[in-house]
Amino acid sequence: MAILSINQVNKEFQIPTGTVKALNNISLQVEEGEFICIVGASGCGKSTLLRIIAGLERQTTGTVLYENTPITEPSTERGVIFQESRLFPWLTVEKNIEFGISNSVDKLSKKELIRHYLNIVGLQEFRKAFPHQLSGGMQQRVSIARALINQPKILLLDEPFGALDALTKMTMQDEILRIREYQKSTMILVTHDIDEAVYLADRVVIMSSRPGTIRKVLNIQLPRNRNRNSADFVYYRDIIYQQFFKQEEPDFNYDI
Ligand SMILES: Nc1ncnc2c1ncn2[C@@H]1O[C@H](COP(=O)(O)OP(=O)(O)OP(=O)(O)O)[C@@H](O)[C@H]1O
Ligand SMILES: [Mg+2]
């Protein structure tokens, strides 16, 4: 049974000048433990789809089932790391992480959990620092710890490394694979970095522009740790590039 089942989902937004169709007939089944990467051009509905899975937004039509039950609201079982930093600048690293913990956890266990996840993301010695005293990569690790602390079954990551330099990004990608190995969560990561998708994913979902539809789902059949320069890696990268830049037929003729 799929842990997540998305069936014929459409999403329309009302704006002052009319209706924006953000998602068009999206269907996807995600198995437990899978690493899914969603790639597509800006504005094709990636964040919208993630927000629907998180329970922060409702689809206009179609169904989205988590463990066979319709998603109607956010849940700690589905952790989210947002596209933009959502850390509280006035709270220290440990207080930011603590903020993510479900209220049902008692105080002593909270302390233990915070220590544990600070270690996982390698920020133990920065626990008393404020976000502005951290690098971009470190801030993103705080967000990851905050999302992981409730041990979500699914982790939803919206371009989590988009603002990082190339080297930090690669380190963070390895970090997320390590965490996944340890935590055994299902991962759905949105990116417009094709290399990132081939490096991380079991399956890459390629979306086309507005209204966002799924153009192709590609199985990446490469063992880990993946070599970004291997012929196989380049082969997958090329397939995605071709899909990415495949244009619909233009609806007008050129006069030459
Ligand atoms: N709350 C909203 N109200 C109205 N329109 C919205 C809203 N949220 C998203 N949209 C529209 O839906 C479309 C998809 O937006 P979305 O943020 O999902 O794109 P995206 O693929 O995540 O883009 P990016 O790569 O730039 O983050 C866009 O045209 C956007 O204008
Ligand atoms: Mg987005």
Asked if residue 47 is part of any domain, the answer here is no
Asked if residue 133 is part of any domain, the answer here is yes
Closest by CA to 10, choosing from 88, 64, 69, is 64
- 225 prior amide bond cis, ω within 30: yes
- 131 prior amide bond cis, ω within 30: no
Averaged pLDDT score across all residues of the chain: 90
Asked if residue 108 is part of any domain, the answer here is yes
Asked if residue 128 is part of any domain, the answer here is yes
**How does residue 24 score in pLDDT terms, banded at 50, 70 and 90?**
very high
- Cα dist. 238→19, 81, 206, 217 in Å? 35, 28, 13, 14
Give CA–CA dist 215/246, Å, rounded: 10
* Mean pLDDT for the stretch of residues 238-251: 73
pLDDT for 255 beyond 50: no
CA of residue 84 to ligand 2 center, whole Å? 9
Chain position carrying tokens 């997540």: 4
Contact 116, 66 (CB under 8 A): no
**How does residue 254 score in pLDDT terms, banded at 50, 70 and 90?**
very low
pLDDT in tens, 187-218: 999 998 999 999 999 999 999 887 899 999 99
pLDDT, residue 71, reads 97
Q: Which residue segment(s) compose the domain that 133 sits in?
A: 88-151
- Cα dist. 231→85, 104, 118, 227, 228 in Å? 36, 50, 37, 9, 9
Contact 194, 238 (CB under 8 A): no
Share of the chain above pLDDT 70, in %: 96
Handedness of CA 116, 119, 120, 121 (dihedral sign): positive
pLDDT, residue 248, reads 56
* Mean pLDDT for the stretch of residues 63-85: 92
Give CA–CA dist 65/2, Å, rounded: 9
Asked if residue 115 is part of any domain, the answer here is yes
Asked if residue 163 is part of any domain, the answer here is no
pLDDT for 253 beyond 50: no
CA of residue 82 to ligand 2 center, whole Å? 9
Strands 154-158 and 78-81: parallel
Whole-prediction pTM: 0.90
Pocket test for ligand 1, best of 9, 13, 50 (most atoms within 8 A of CB): 13
* Mean pLDDT for the stretch of residues 124-153: 90
pLDDT in tens, 80-98: 998 777 899 999 999 999 9
Asked if residue 58 is part of any domain, the answer here is no
The structural domain count of the chain equals 1
Percent helix, strand, coil in the chain (nearest 5)? 35, 25, 40
Pocket test for ligand 1, best of 48, 58, 157, 209 (most atoms within 8 A of CB): 48
pLDDT, residue 94, reads 94
pLDDT for 26 beyond 80: yes
Tell me, using a 6 A CB cutoff, whether residue 210 lines ligand 1.
yes
pLDDT for 102 beyond 90: no
Judging by beta carbons within 10 Å of its beta carbon (0-12, 13-18, 19+), is residue 105 exposed, middle or buried? middle
Range from 61-65, 154-158, 242-246 carrying the lowest mean pLDDT: 242-246
pLDDT for 115 beyond 50: yes
Tell me, using a 6 A CB cutoff, whether residue 51 lines ligand 1.
no
Asked if residue 93 is part of any domain, the answer here is yes
